[in-house]
Structure 1
Amino acid sequence: MKWWRSPVKLWPDSLFGRTAATLGLAFVLFQTAALALVAYTVLTPMALRSADDLAALIVLSAQTWVELPPETRPAFERELAEHHHLRISKIDNIADVPADRFLNSRNIEAALSHRTGQQISLEAGENGWVWADLQMGGHYIHIGFEKNRYNIRSPLAAVGLVSLGALLIWLTALIVVRRITRTLAQLAAAAGQVGQGQMPQPLPETGAAELVTLARAFNQMANEVQDLLANRTTLLAGISHDLRTPIARMRLAVAMLPADAEPALVAQIERDLEQMNQLIGGFLDMARGLQTEARQQVDLHALLCQIAADAGRSGGTVVCNVTGVYEYSIAVQALQRIVVNLIENALRYAPESQVEISCTPNKHGALIEIMDRGPGIPADQLEAVFRPFYRLETSRNLTSGGSGLGLAIARQLAQANGWQLNLSAREGGGLVASLQV
């Protein structure tokens, strides 16, 4: 058994997942465009204006401090600290302690450098203060400001508000889409049950007018399909009963023929009657194929080996390559009919071949394979053989080609139980019938 890691899907398969992903992508694109627009039209102009105003205040304060008499400078320093939140002092040399970058730091440095004609770099201070050193009037001026007062924050509140609104719109759209896709998911599940011959629970006829109309039409269709299936089964059962009665009388008449009747003619009549009986049995099996069956807990190993042993006693070589205990809850009679049908089909077309049965557990349940070394089936007809009355052998002889109902009945039984039945070419020649249960 091969195991492999399935590739990660970047795009979901479900309608809800795709809608959510599309809306999410649109949300991200909208937010990106909104942020870019706010940054270009609001944040950048505001940052530049704030940096230029601060640079102008710093240069004017430094110039004023230099021009004031020394005895009045302390009063001026207090005035700057109280009303403009600037600190100014004289230093001996320009320091070189780069400040931590913040949103508007480069703009402030550029504005100061432009106004002073000097290369100004902001320096880190204590308690969130940032300092700039200027050379003015033969002095080195050390002037600082609080970083948080000139960091651009207020427009981010508007961006957050826009983001919150877009997020609420996205969530609302997802809720609306979820309500629609839930109805579609219920419809798909119910359609699958109808396809398996089951009667699903009626869909709720609530919600939008279109969904109500859809649910009502589906419920009506499901009831009509069930009536058609019941009528078909009843009709075929009645026809079978009515035909088997004259067949029985014909067999009795053949048995009462005079002893001098031609043996070859009598044998031909008996074969024709048997073929008619087989056809009627096939019709009944096909009619009952969609009838549900209660599931039972069973060991597939024991069941498949028993089927192989029974088929071997009837003629042919059937090998059961199944080991271990595989406990599954399954429709036993349906599984038996499918496997027996496939074995008989393999023995009919490959009488000298050994038919092998294998069973492999997988993540979906179990994979049962019936393999032979017969002539196989052309690739372009692997699906066509599941159609009723379709036969590769065109002589219409039931002994050599069968009735053309066996594989159709097997596929119908598989679909009715939610299984998958497929045919494929076997490596080295022959055919593999795969039944996923």
Structure 2
Amino acid sequence: MISAHRSRSLFRSIASTIASALLIFQLILIAATLNYVMLPMAKRSADDLAALLVLSAQTWVELPPETRKDFELELANKHQFMLFEDAAILPPRKGFYPYLALLDNALTSRTGEPVSIKVTHIDTTWFWAEIHTGGKLIRIGFPKDRLNMDPPSMLLLALVATVAFTLLTALVLARRVTKPLTHFYAAAQRIGEGSIPESFPETGISELSGLASTFNKLALQVRELLANRTTMLAGISHDLRTPLARMRLAIELLPESTDPKLVARLQHDVEEMNQLIGQFLVLSRELHKEPAQQVDVSLLLGELADNARNEGADVKFRTRDNAVLSAGPMALRRILNNLLSNAVHYGANKPVEIDLSLKDNLAVIRILDRGNGIPAQELENVFHPFYRVESSRSNSTGGSGLGLAIARQLADANGWKIELLPRPLGGTEAKLSIPRD
């Protein structure tokens, strides 16, 4: 059996796989868009702007001095350009501006000499190009708003939208696949607890519809199998108990001269057969979850411990207050009585301890003995019907091999957990865990 902490849920596995695939696809798509669409458009835009800047500088130089002011006003109104001659030296550009790097290359290509756009920050951000033309150094600039673009924000928005959309899509797809399987898992658990789940609708996706149809047929077959088995065993019980009654009568009618030891042995064998039939019927019939009631576990354990002491056992248990649980009283009593009887019977006449611990969401009852113990490889096998560890539970010690099987089935039917654990210095720990509502 794989432990829960080592296994991954199907929902998480599907969601992570779909999310990873979609994220990789979106990243490849973004990279392709940047390289084959946005970059060529940005280069073309930078080349057009470079041509306009160079043409404006050349035209200003070629114009008569008296008309240059009018040309400067026209550049400012139509193109948001500002033009100066022999202005003060500006410091080198700092920061990362991908578009300005493209504009540098375009200006350098058109002027034939290195040009690097400078940046100033006064009231607003301005970009400046220094162009040598007609023997003059012309500085022509434009505001950042003229570009009307913000690549970092655009990339961030695209990335955030991609991640959010990808995760949402992955969650929706994973939920659509795993939700029906979760219902199947819960229904299978109910079957394991002895309950029959409601039929699943046989609609929707063809594969899931087929699985629902198969599961419904399987649940019906299990129900019929359990009912037929119970009916058959009830008939067998009736047929067996009739000759047993005759055997009891025959024993009672034996002559008085019959050996008393023989009579006692025959009576013991008949009673043992009767008890075995009863235990087998309990194990075989369909077990339903018993309606829960408020049970004082400490009081119940104290009563079972007193009963064991009255039969000569050495049982140690200290009662405690506020130990009330919501549980099926008959199932709880039967399980605890079985575990305690086993501990006393196979405890090598040594003291048996009962421990009760209550946590926020769990009540744990531990019954500890110092007997020969059970080999680690047999700890699960002893819960199988009619299974006995020969070294410690041979026929000479009594027992049918049904007690722990019935206890496990009752625990499963009520949603409890029962375990047998080896103790470090020898002996066995029987542990019953009950969720607290």
TM-score bracket, normalised by the shorter chain, equals: 0.7 to 0.9
Q: Is the 8 A contact 2:226 2:285 kept in 1?
A: no
Q: Is the 8 A contact 2:418 2:432 kept in 1?
A: yes
Indicate the residue corresponding to 2:119 in structure 1.
123
Q: Secondary structure at the match of 2:317?
A: strand
Taking the aligned partners of 1:143 and 1:58, their CA distance within structure 2 comes to 7
The structure 1 residue matched to 2:185, chosen from 182, 185, 188, is: 188
Q: Secondary structure at the match of 2:288?
A: coil
Q: Secondary structure at the match of 1:411?
A: helix
Taking the aligned partners of 2:116 and 2:143, their CA distance within structure 1 comes to 17
Structure 1 residue 400 displacement after superposition: 0.2
Taking the aligned partners of 1:326 and 1:133, their CA distance within structure 2 comes to 88
Q: Is the 8 A contact 1:392 1:401 kept in 2?
A: no
2:225 counterpart of 1:228: yes
For the aligned residues, what is the CA RMSD?
A: 3.4
- The one-letter amino acid paired with 1:380 is Q
Taking the aligned partners of 1:388 and 1:421, their CA distance within structure 2 comes to 15
Structure 1 residue 399 displacement after superposition: 5.1
Aligned pairs (5 A) from 1:271-350: 271-288=268-285, 290-321=287-318, 323-350=320-347
Aligned pairs (5 A) from 1:149-298: 149-150=146-147, 175=172, 177-288=174-285, 290-298=287-295
Indicate the residue corresponding to 1:105 in structure 2.
100
User: Cα gap change, 1:259/1:417 in structure 2, threshold over 3 Å: closer, same or farther?
Assistant: same
- The one-letter amino acid paired with 1:35 is I
Q: TM-score, normalised by structure 1?
A: 0.85
2:58 counterpart of 1:63: yes
Taking the aligned partners of 2:132 and 2:88, their CA distance within structure 1 comes to 9
User: Cα gap change, 1:390/1:144 in structure 2, threshold over 3 Å: closer, same or farther?
Assistant: same
User: Cα gap change, 1:156/1:148 in structure 2, threshold over 3 Å: closer, same or farther?
Assistant: same
Per-residue CA deviations over 1:159-212 (Å, capped at 9, x if unaligned) read: 989997997787567545534432222222111111111122222233234433
In terms of mean alpha carbon deviation, does 287-296 or 395-404 score higher?
395-404
Indicate the residue corresponding to 1:382 in structure 2.
379
User: Cα gap change, 1:322/1:358 in structure 2, threshold over 3 Å: closer, same or farther?
Assistant: farther
Structure 1 residue 90 displacement after superposition: 2.3
2:78 counterpart of 1:83: yes
The structure 2 residue matched to 1:432, chosen from 425, 429, 433, is: 429
Taking the aligned partners of 2:347 and 2:222, their CA distance within structure 1 comes to 39
Taking the aligned partners of 1:377 and 1:106, their CA distance within structure 2 comes to 78
- The one-letter amino acid paired with 2:300 is L
Q: For this pair of structures, how many residues does the alignment match?
A: 429
State percent identity of aligned pairs. Answer: 46
Taking the aligned partners of 1:319 and 1:136, their CA distance within structure 2 comes to 106
Structure 1 residue 223 displacement after superposition: 2.6
Q: Is the 8 A contact 1:291 1:416 kept in 2?
A: yes
Per-residue CA deviations over 1:378-428 (Å, capped at 9, x if unaligned) read: 111111111111111279865504111111111111122222222121121
Aligned pairs (5 A) from 1:20-99: 20-96=15-91, 98=93
- The one-letter amino acid paired with 2:102 is N
Indicate the residue corresponding to 1:357 in structure 2.
354
Q: TM-score, normalised by structure 2?
A: 0.85
Structure 1 residue 128 displacement after superposition: 4.3
In terms of mean alpha carbon deviation, does 127-136 or 293-302 score higher?
127-136
In terms of mean alpha carbon deviation, does 189-198 or 93-102 score higher?
93-102
In structure 2, the gaps of 5 or more residues are none
- The one-letter amino acid paired with 1:78 is L
In structure 1, the gaps of 5 or more residues are 1-5
Q: Is the 8 A contact 2:23 2:163 kept in 1?
A: no
User: Cα gap change, 1:27/1:172 in structure 2, threshold over 3 Å: closer, same or farther?
Assistant: closer
